[in-house]
DNA sequence: GTTTGCAATCGTAAATTTACGATAAACGAA
DNA sequence: TTCGTTTATCGTAAATTTACGATTGCAAAC
């Protein structure tokens, strides 16, 4: 596009969109679910579980980290990933807010 | 990318990703909130409320419709948009499921 | 210090997204 | 029928996303 106009939306809208965008790929959803299920969350294990190359998984992890949903901790030669508690709390707040704001009723014309 | 590998993920993961992707732009979040707030949901009013051109708003509406989150009904020369009750129920189910599945606890290494 | 193994980054290519103006299509009104 | 209003679509351009192999960087082990 010619120019981004994101700055014209509210902070909450942008944050929610950023989080939703991070969730907007099945690989990243799968990664989050794997991180939630296992205690161990080493990058290499994720690669084994996913139908993607190491570099692609690493890229998805980077995006989840950029969105604040995941954090990584160096553990020797490995990196241990896990859900970022603060970021996920914010995601929970924003997504929950949207679910509350858009009630499950038909208000169509 | 060379090849899409979405088919290697579960149906639920793909559906959730599709919904999240649709929510992954502040304009679309804003549109959904406007549709929830107002009863009237004519396309032209959305254009007036948003810092985007008519064609761009129409394109965002098309994506929301493709994701099943919104439905449009022709009303004379106008089109009346509203939240799609069935699609939003599915979104609620999948997002709610993710919120439940990833508890707000730090399980990091 | 050298090697080994794991993960991040680089370089690249193809597909998709975003945005806009211009045009077309659809409908009611004159 | 013709005109004006409203919305969708087309055409286009720039930016971003997705994916992979190859390379680099890093930390422990030897």
Domains of chain A in start order, with CATH, are 15-98 (1.10.10.10)
Cβ–Cβ below 8 Å for A106 and B92: no
As a whole number, the mean pLDDT across chain A is 88
Query: A28: closest CA among B20, B65, B104, B25?
Result: B20
Average pLDDT, chain B: 88
Return the residue of A nearest to B29 by Cα.
Answer: A13
pLDDT value, residue B40: 58
Quote the CA–CA distance of A47 and A9 in Å, as a whole number. 37
A106 pLDDT higher than 70: no
Nearest to A88 by CA among A35, A46, A27: A35
Q: DSSP assignment of B49-90, as one string?
A: HSSS-HHHHHHHHHHHHHTTSEEEEEETTEEEEEE-HHHHHH
Contact B17, A20 (CB under 8 A): no
Query: What H or E segment, with its residue span, contains residue B72?
Result: strand B70-75
Which whole number is the average pLDDT over A99-106? 78
Q: What is the pLDDT of residues A27-61, one digit of tens each?
A: 999 999 999 988 668 888 899 999 999 999 999 99
pLDDT surpassing 70 at residue B107: no
**CA-wise closest residue to A92 among B96, B93, B88:** B96
The strand pair at B78-83 and B70-75 is best described as antiparallel
B33-57: pLDDT as tens digits: 999 988 658 888 899 999 999 999 9
Provide residues 1-60 of B with CB closer than 7 Å to any strand D atom. Answer: 1-6, 42-44, 47, 54-55, 58-59
Distance (Å) from the C-alpha of residue B80 to the closest C-alpha of chain A?
7
């Amino acid at each position: 596009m010619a120019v981004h106009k994101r700055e014209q939306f509210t902070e909450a809208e942008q944050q929610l969109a950023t989080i939703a965008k991070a969730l907007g790929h099945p690989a990243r959803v799968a990664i989050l679910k794997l991180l939630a299920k296992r205690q161990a969350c080493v990058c290499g294990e994720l690669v084994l579980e996913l139908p993607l190359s190491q570099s692609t998984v690493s890229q998805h992890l980077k995006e989840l980290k950029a969105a604040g949903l995941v954090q990584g901790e160096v553990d020797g030669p490995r990196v241990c990933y896990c859900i970022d508690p603060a970021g996920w709390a914010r995601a929970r707040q924003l997504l929950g807010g949207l679910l509350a704001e858009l009630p499950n009723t038909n208000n169509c014309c």
